Amino acid sequence: MKKGTKAILAGAMALTMGASLAAAVGCGYEPITVGEARKIVVGITEYKPMDYKDENGNWVGFDYELSKSVLESLGFTVEYRVIDWDTKTVTLNAQEIDVIWNGMTITEDLQKNLLLSDPYLINRQYGVVKAADREKYTDAESLKDAAVAVETGSAAQGLMMNEDESTNCKTLNRASNQNSAVMEVAAGTSDVAIVDYLLAISLTTGENSAYKDTLVAVDLGFAAEEFAVGFRKKDVGFCTAVNDKIKALYADGTVAALAAKYGIAGQLVQA
């Protein structure tokens, strides 16, 4: 009897583990077809000015509006889900979300693991430092003796960490998100945070930001990067449709108007 129960238990465990694994790697995954009436779940994080909540608690933002108009014009209903940015690839492949559309900077890792859209915005990595350190950190070279905070797996980590895992700074603190990296600087537990330009500006100058008097954004001379939408590898048709739609919205000036509304007109691809 006892043996029987054990066998059943083991079987049940193997089944659940197998099922979750299968979901994770996407065996037998049916790609999304454009035109079918289905819900698309968009993975986002709260990230001003791409996706954030206005004073009434409604989601707004450049990416929010752009993704909504693109996906709805393709005939989908859209739902937004806040995800853990560390595990975005896993979350996408586990089909908890269908696209990642949240100011995502293209990196080699992402190119390997995801299908990416054409770049739709240009981004730059900026430093956030204490106001008193403004003169101290001016370029990548000056970070050599600094404790630098970045978001795990972000483009900034790619700038600070080499292939052989050596770092271009004294210590590299890999935070779970960009806001935590900036908080490290405010708390004095790191010297410099390297984050997206948009976030650096909004956190150091934003009216409601707790850091607006203490922290400043500095240009460390890092090269520009590009934002893209992330899809599952098999969703080629879906990706092409989104690319075409964004191109059309660029052509008729919708994207430019949207960028102006959110104060990022300087980041348009064709500008």
Partner 1 sequence: MFWSVTLNLLKGFGNTALIFLVTLVLALPLGLVIAFGSTSKYKVLSYPIKVIVWIVRGTPLMLQVIVIFYAPGLLFGVKGLSRFIAVVVAFVINYACYFSEIYRSGIQSVPRGQYEAGQVLGMKKRSIFFRVILLQVIKQITPPMGNEIITLVKDTSLARIIMVQEILFVAFSDYVAKGIIWPLFYTGAFYLIFVGLLTVLFHFLEKKMSFYKV
CB-nearer residue toward partner 1: 154 or 267: 154
Task: Return the residue matching tokens 């000015």.
Answer: 49
Which residue, 38 or 170, has its beta carbon nearer to partner 1? 170
Confirm if 110 and 166 have CB atoms less than 8 A apart: no
* Rounded CA separation 153/178 (Å): 11
Q: Indicate the residue among 1 and 187 with the shorter CB distance to partner 1.
A: 187
CB of 109 to partner 1, least distance (A): 5
Q: Give contact residues for partner 1 (rule: CB under 8 A).
A: 24, 86-87, 89-90, 109, 112-114, 152-153, 173-176, 183, 186-189
Q: Map residue 201 onto helix, strand or coil.
A: helix
Give me the least distance between CB of 164 and partner 1, in Å please: 12
CB nearer to partner 1: pick between 147 and 268? 147
First to last CA, the chain: 73
CB of 188 to partner 1, least distance (A): 4
Residue 157: name the closest of 136, 138, 176, 133 by CA: 176
In whole angstroms, the minimum distance from the beta carbon of 132 to partner 1 comes to: 11
CA atoms within 13 A on the CB side of 3: 0
Q: How far is the CB of 17 from partner 1 (least distance, A)?
A: 8
Residue 106 to residues 36, 102, 145, 160, 175, Cα–Cα distance (Å)? 29, 12, 28, 16, 19
**Based on CB atoms, which residue is closest to partner 1, 21 or 251?**
21
By CB atoms closer than 10 A (0-12, 13-18, 19+), residue 33 is: exposed
Say whether 208 sits in a helix, a strand or coil. coil
Q: Is the CB of 210 or the CB of 251 nearer to partner 1?
A: 210
For the bound state, the minimum distance from the C-beta of residue 84 to partner 1, rounded and expressed in Å, comes to: 9
**Cα separation, 129 vs 126, whole angstroms:** 10
